[in-house]
Structure 1
Amino acid sequence: MAPRRGGFGGGGGGFSGGSACPSSAFSSDYSRIILAFTALWLIVDLVLACTVASRKKRILNAGHAKESLQWAMIHMSINFMLLCNILFLVSLVLNECGISYYAVTGVNISAIWLDGLAILILYGLILVPVCRQLHQVAGYIMARVVTVAHFTLMLFLSSILISYLSVTTAVLDGIGSRYRTTFALSDARRGLIITFDVFAVIGMLMAVFSIATAMTRSKQLRSGNMAIWTSLLIVASLGLATARLGDNTYSFFPSRFTSDPRGRLLAGTFVTDFFYAMTFLCVLFVASNPALTTSDQNTASAPVEPVAPQTDAVPIPVAVPAPNGETKDYYTPLPVDHSATPPPHQQQTQMYQQPQQQQQQQYQAVPPPRPYYS
């Protein structure tokens, strides 16, 4: 997340307004390695984007249910990282060719925002949809508890990241202005990114515990390809958060005893990009696994159990006219036993006899009340 891949001039001279690159462009080993790394991960991101489209099409053709929000987050994460690598590549070329400093700074700021959002969305995919679906396979009660806890942590991580990106934009856009203001913002920037990475490690530890718990409770998650991809997801997600914490710590707090700081930065860049690609691939194959998609489909189309018929008699009031012109309610209970069903011809006979019986009951004389003797 630190702006180290773009904006480092290895052999280019000062910034100018010329359109042609000087002969000294990409003359240093550092600039060439950075260019090769950026191009490599750009190709990897393109392959991952194509894999996302292929897996999604396979799920739709198989007729499995899919979550639109989850797949939207998957597309956003890989597309943001793809655009980030493209902008870093453009920034590196502009820097080596000595193009205007303000153009390079604007490209760097956009790339840093895309990189941070891609990582945040990937963390959100692991913490909320993936963990919830795994617990839906293992048990529905834990799924709600895990979702609420992980979603709360994601809100906290989002607020810290947005603050960090805003401060980073102010620092990069304000270089050359007041020194004290820029120095104070740089201190705040270091604190924000380290806080974000520390809580990201805590979040991935929570996700690892949640995934491991779901695997122990469900035999379906411990068999076949699902067990392989969930195990790889545990290792990759924890490795991603830990690698970014160590890389950003060294980037903002470099050690004086390191003999090759640029080589250390290159190694950190490669490791963090590798763990991102590995984590994203594991999330993709876990989310598109038939075990989870079938679980979602069964949950959405679960049949509702019919209500058992009531066998108790329910009294129904029947209005009967009295001799004085008033009506009195007499309660006629329904038959209690519904198990024996009469034959069809008896049902038709009862159907024709019911109106006559009701008419006779309606006009039947009501006996006078008995006298009360005190």
Structure 2
Amino acid sequence: MVRKTTKARQSEKRIDERLLVTYLLTLEVGLVAVYSTSSMIAESRFGSHLFFLRQQIIWAVLSLLMVWVITRINLVRFAVYSVPAYVIMLGALAAVFLAEPVNGSQRWLFIGPLTVQPSEFFKLVMIYSLAFSLSNRELNIANWQGLLLKYGPPIGVALLLIVLEPDLGTTIVIFSTVVGVFFLAGARMKHLLVAATPLAGIAAFLVFVIGYKKVRILDYIASLADPLQGSYQSMQAALTLGAGGLFGAGLGDGSQKLFFLPYPHTDFIFAAIGEEIGLLRLLILLLLFMYILFRGFKIAMAQPDKFGYLLAGGLTLSLFVNMAVNIGVVTCLLPVTGLPLPFISYGGSSLLISSIAVGVLLNLSRRVKA
């Protein structure tokens, strides 16, 4: 009994405490950012400057609870349910087309008082499923034609559904993560490019068929030649970010209170909070992001088996692409995608899934001293 207790205590100590502390700090920054950038909008629309903050705190508490639970489960034992979970998520992705559109997109399911974005949950299930499947010792990773026939249809159907929502940002994240996980599994890059090109071509065609996504991309192309020809959102985001200077205007004193910047507490929160805290403090936030990614990749490299390696690597890569795309949009390096900033943007699904990813990384960190 004493031996078991000692072993349990040792297991507790093996959680990557540096990753946990960095995650908690980033979560706190996110709550402050949501309140500071949303209070005026909340007061105007709902009569309470705390409306969005209350909602985000609820999701933050739920996220922390999920992190606690996930660090204590056997990930390998649940991996056998990854295929049924994948099928269920495909059904959820299809079900969004039966729901009412929001701002021209059909990305959400309304479950009682909750609004859930299935594509966010699909990212996690997809990485989990791929890690389990590609870690099979009998799988011939060099047979890229066989891999394409096996994995192409289920992944292609999911990407098609997400593109049609339309959700360009999540499509980019999932597509990049899939390619990355296969590369980590040992697939050759030239084979991945051959397999990925048709999917990318179909996705690009569908994006141009969809009205406002086509406009966004054309605006982005025009902005490469003349920044003043970019979309209103991109221009306002760049102006807002630049207005903060080195030290910022102060929390709550940004120009978003004048409603120039659309969605200052969601997709463009990086610009809004950057104006308030300034470039120097914004760099600290970026360092928090980078450290989370560093710990994630370090945990992946230290895993004792391929499943843990692919799972940790895939989750970390997904977080990286998500962060990079959001910041790329705000800095006018990429077209507007509607992708939230992990841990920071207002939104329950994004915060919950990003936190679950950290919970899985913490779980995997118990297996080694990362």
TM-score, normalised to structure 1, is: 0.26
TM-score, normalised to structure 2, is: 0.26
Query: Radius of gyration: which is bigger?
Result: 1
